């Protein structure tokens, strides 16, 4: 085909640059103040987890003379059964919680999205096998499974904790992504991509995946909160050995050592990690709408 004699009507190029990802994201955030609040909460906790522990010694000082102190200037959230500052426990404990929950969400989403895409796009035996395994994880209740697993395998450090939560938690996402992929692969743009000579990898990850991205990203955020509940639950039950301090350990000790059920003096100690978990969840929920809008071009008002 001759390209020489084509019209060149595009010479009057208007200076116009497409909006960047960041400008779209900023706009989506600004549209609702609640989204800004959500982002603020998230940033606050991430900063706390990353930098907070630097301000405290590796072993927090105990003070048997000052146990269950009420909130004061020196101990804004009071002290625990050993007289350790609760704020310090919260801050140093946040790293484990967020790190392992982030890893868990990462594994959940990574495994779930890839397996969902592969089984939905290629069908056939990969689909049969993957979905059979997914059904297994979906029917076996997750928390009891983790409890059982924890007896045979020590996943006390954040990486193994994240890995275990990811390996047991991907099934729901894989199913959802698969069913979206099943309908997407019938759209003519997928067929057009095949006709134009795109490779399978390009079609699955370049064409199909972006359409599931808003869902996957939201699942990522929700998987973070889900993982926090699970790991805190495990520590609370005490089935995972306490190798480091974290919010789950605090809750466990608040009950077992401080008898928070029976006395009010340990109330700040009990409520602090609870409040952190709740407010983090709240921040994530507020933030979700912005993620959907950023990744879903149809929701953007240009």
Partner 1 sequence: MIEVRKLEKVYPPVVGGLLSHNEVRALRGVSLSISDGGALSIIGESGCGKTTFGRILAGLESYSGGDIAMDGVALNSLPNNERQPYFRRIQLIHQDPYTALNPSHTILHAMAVPLRIQAKLQKKNDDWILNRSKELLAMVGLDPVGTLYKYPHALSGGQRQRVVIARALTVDPKILVADEAVSMIDVSMRLSILNLLSDLRVRLRIGIVFITHDVAAARYIAKDGELCVLYRGEVVEYGQTDEIIVRPVHPYTQAMLSAMPVLRGLEEAGPDRYIPLEGMDDFEGQGSGCLFAPRCRHATARCQEQHPDLVPWDDRLSSSSHHHACFYPIPRNVVARPINRENAL
- CA-to-CA separations, 176 to 48, 126, 224, in angstroms, rounded: 33, 16, 18
- Residue of 57, 56, 55, 82 whose CA lies nearest to 68: 82
Chain-centroid distance, C-alpha 67: 35
| Cβ count near 125 (within 10 Å) | 9
CB of 102 to partner 1, least distance (A): 25
134 to 173: interface string for partner 1, x by CB under 8 A: ----------------------------------------
- Which member of 16, 55, 125, 262 binds partner 1 (CB under 8 A)? 16
Minimum CB distance to partner 1 smaller for 200 or for 279:
200
14 near partner 1, rule: CB under 8 A: yes
**CB–CB of 43/228 below 8 Å?**
no
**Does residue 1 interact with partner 1 by CB under 8 A?**
yes
Our finding on whether 8 is near partner 1 (CB under 8 A) is: yes
> Cα–Cα distance between 208 and 204 in angstroms, integer?
5
Site for partner 1 in 111-130 (CB under 8 A): none
Task: Give the sign of the dihedral formed by CA 270, CA 276, CA 279, CA 284.
Answer: negative
Options 43, 192, 261, 278; binder of partner 1; rule CB under 8 A: 192
Among positions 198-217, residues that touch partner 1 (CB under 8 A) are 198, 202, 206-207, 210-211, 213
Segment lying near partner 1 (by CB under 8 A), choices 8-16, 56-64, 90-98, 137-145: 8-16
Percent of the chain that is helix, strand, coil (3-state, to 5): 70, 0, 25
Q: Please give the distance of CA 54 from its chain centroid, rounded to a whole number.
A: 24
Residue 191 interacts with partner 1 (CB under 8 A)? yes
Name the residues that contact partner 1, by CB under 8 A. 1-3, 6-10, 13-14, 16, 18, 187-189, 191-198, 202, 206-207, 210-211, 213, 297-298, 302
């Amino acid at each position: 085909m001759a390209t020489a004699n084509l019209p060149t009507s595009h010479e009057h190029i208007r200076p116009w640059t497409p909006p960047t990802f960041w400008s779209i994201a900023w706009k989506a955030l600004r549209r609702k103040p609640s989204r800004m609040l959500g982002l603020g909460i998230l940033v606050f906790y991430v900063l706390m987890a990353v930098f907070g522990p630097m301000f405290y010694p590796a072993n927090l000082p105990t003070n048997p003379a000052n146990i269950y102190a009420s909130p004061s200037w020196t101990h804004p959230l009071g002290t625990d059964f050993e007289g350790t500052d609760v704020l310090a426990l919260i801050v140093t404990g946040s790293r484990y919680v967020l790190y392992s929950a982030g890893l868990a969400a990462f594994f959940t989403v990574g495994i779930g999205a890839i397996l969902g895409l592969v089984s939905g796009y290629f069908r056939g035996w990969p689909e049969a096998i993957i979905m059979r395994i997914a059904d297994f994880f979906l029917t076996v209740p997750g928390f009891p499974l983790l409890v059982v697993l924890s007896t045979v395998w020590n996943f006390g450090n954040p990486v193994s904790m994240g890995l275990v939560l990811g390996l047991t938690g991907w099934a729901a996402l894989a199913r959802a992504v698969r069913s979206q992929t099943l309908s997407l692969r019938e759209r003519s743009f997928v067929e057009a991509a095949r006709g134009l000579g795109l490779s399978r990898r390009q079609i699955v990850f370049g064409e199909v995946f972006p359409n599931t991205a808003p869902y996957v990203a939201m699942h990522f955020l929700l998987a973070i909160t889900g993982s926090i509940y699970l790991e805190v639950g495990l520590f609370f039950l005490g089935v995972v050995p306490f190798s480091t301090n974290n919010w789950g350990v605090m809750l466990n000790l608040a009950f077992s050592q401080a008898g928070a059920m029976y006395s009010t003096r340990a109330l700040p100690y009990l409520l602090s990690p609870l409040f952190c978990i709740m407010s983090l969840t709240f921040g994530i929920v507020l933030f979700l709408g912005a993620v959907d809008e950023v990744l879903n071009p149809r929701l953007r008002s240009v």
